[in-house]
Amino acid sequence: MAVPAAAAPDQNERLDLAAAEAGPAEVRPGPVRDYSAASRERRLAEKGMAAGSPVMIRIFKAEFELELWMEKGGRFELFATYPICFWSGRLGPKLREGDRQAPEGLYTVGVEQLHRKGRHPRSLNLGFPNEFDRAYSRTGSYILVHGGCRSIGCYAMTDPVMEEIYSLSESALSAGQERIQVHAFPFRMTEENLALHKRNVWHSFWLNLKDAYDAFEHARLPPRISVCGRRYVVSEGSPSSAVAGDHGLACNSSDMVASHSGETNNELQQVAEAEAEAVARRHSRSAGRGRGARAAYAAARRARSRTSSLARAKRAAR
């Protein structure tokens, strides 16, 4: 079973740790401490990139990392890897409103999902629940990638980091990108990581997410994605679909046959088991709180009784 996520360390501590662990073979950009507009323009120029180019985002829960990729020369290249300051819940998808669980899945962000007001004036609404989530009757709303370092179901990036993510996303959408793909994964979808979690109730769901992970890793283009029979159906993208953020694949007969297979039924059973487990945990906590409240009440009554006895004894002594 997956280990519940611990609270994120202080951001500077995470940056220092990442810098210390990054060896000469590290291919991802190192941590950036200066997220000012001037620093951003300089880093873009160093990579031969420009604000307004199409963007793609990948989130990795277990690694506490968010990657921002940008189109360059017909393919996408990694612009920056940002430390996620905090996410709530555990590995696995969001199931219902109020479960305080950060979602996993394949989402898109359009210009209407850019938030410029509220507690965190720069944020991206992931559009949860998407078509896949709705197929499983999952509920929730206002699930964001936002600033700050607190969250009850979102991904908190700190304000300076979020300002940069928001700026590049807004520039891409303003320049003509229709939708930005945001892929939220439990961890980097390697064979080794999946093997470590093969007994997890969400393993088959993660195998489905791996289709999108592999398609992007191979082509370096946002994949084409649709939802057929309660599964993500993925194919490699093209430069035109990268701009469109295309989620418009048509379901074919083989997809529909797969959707009625035992694997899908197994996934439905996994959802039911996970929901039953969540209900059991809530009942257990409620029972624990009830026992604790009763014990505290009884202790308070005993304390009041002792106080009253002492007071009566003092009055009698006078």
Task: Give catalytic residues, as residue numbers.
Answer: 146, 154
Encoded tokens for 27: 């291919």
DSSP 153-174: SSEE--HHHHHHHHHHHHHHHH
Q: Give CA separation, 29 vs 18, 47, 79, 85, in Å.
A: 11, 11, 7, 18
Strands 114-115, 105-109: parallel, antiparallel or unpaired by DSSP?
unpaired
Single-letter residue type at 62: A
Strands 180-185, 114-115: parallel, antiparallel or unpaired by DSSP?
unpaired
Helix (H) or strand (E) holding 69: strand 65-72
Question: How many angstroms separate the CA atoms of 91 and 86, rounded?
Answer: 13
How many CA atoms lie less than 13 Å away from 58 in the CB half-sphere? Answer: 28
Encoded tokens for 80: 């920056």
Encoded tokens for 20: 């210390």
Residues 6+ apart with CB under 8 A from 285: none
In the block, residue with structure tokens 């257990």: 284
Strands 180-185, 105-109: parallel, antiparallel or unpaired by DSSP?
antiparallel
Q: Which of 117, 96, 155 is nearest to 276 (CA)?
A: 96
Q: Which of 89, 88, 80 is nearest to 160 (CA)?
A: 80
Q: Find out whether the peptide bond into 129 is cis, omega within 30 degrees of 0.
A: yes
